[in-house]
A = this chain, B = another copy of it.
């Protein structure tokens, strides 16, 4: 039969595991909503910025056609073309308002037409990634009883997940998988270590 002390210890540890799981879920909920909606608003703002600039360029081709024509010419002058060489090109571009505005948007302002469905997709991707990423270190605390064993399993599982994620991301961004994996482990590991030692320091 377990001693009273043993039972008490057991319940204290379980309460601590429960606190960790609750705090973890709260953090995942807050983070996924804040980051997801933040991404949504950022994409929406990009769309609005593009629409506002497009509007302005349309107005300027009507109200200030000489200045806008000169801006088209400037792009080609910067590429070393003579006035004579660029004349047919410039007049072909400014001969069609849609083409003219499109040219100004891309080559003067460097803006690409945004995909209108990007905002919603971006929000969903960010929120889902936050939830998956948050559940990985939390899962051992949900599945296991002891706080100490769950901590070590959580550290192991999280570092492995960081490595795999970094390697896959590296594959798509042109970074060598091993390097991408180690970079991501380093970032996550440093962040977790800093949190741990600060909590120790003031705890």
Contact = CB atoms under 8 A, between A and B. Distances in A.
A23 interface: yes
A7 interface: no
Copies of this subunit:
2
Given A30-B192, A48-B175, A107-B107, A96 B80 contact: yes
Contacts of A26: 195-196, 198-199
Interface core residue of A23, A25, A173, A195 (most chain B CB under 10 Å):
A195
Nearest to A88: B85
A183 B41 contact: yes
A192 to B, nearest CB: 6
Given A48-B175, A80-B99, A183-B41, A25 B92 contact: no
Interface size class of A (residues with CB under 8 A): 35 or more
Interface of A: 21-23, 25-27, 29-31, 33-34, 37-38, 41, 45, 48-49, 52, 76, 79-82, 85-86, 88-89, 92-93, 96, 99, 103, 106-107, 110, 112, 173-175, 183, 186-188, 190-192, 194-196, 198-199, 202-203
9 contacts: A27-B195, A29-B194, A30-B192, A31-B191, A34-B188, A34-B191, A79-B89, A79-B92, A80-B92
